[in-house]
Amino acid sequence: MPNDEQDPVHDEQESVQDDERATDDFDERTAAVERLPLTDRADAFSALHDELRTRLESGGSRSA
Digit-coded pLDDT (tens) for 7-53: 766 666 565 566 666 677 889 999 999 999 999 999 999 999 999 99
Does 49 reside within a domain?
Answer: yes
Asked whether residue 36 is domain-assigned, the answer is yes
In this prediction the pTM is: 0.56
Domains of the chain: total? 1
Answer whether residue 2 is part of any domain: no
Domain that holds residue 41: 25-59
SS3 sequence of the chain: CCCHHHCHHHHHHHHHHHHHHHHHHHHHHHHHHHCCCHHHHHHHHHHHHHHHHHHHHCCCCCCC
Structural domain contains residue 12? no
**How high is the pLDDT of residue 26?**
87
Residue 38 is assigned to a structural domain of this protein = yes
The pLDDT value given to residue 64: 45
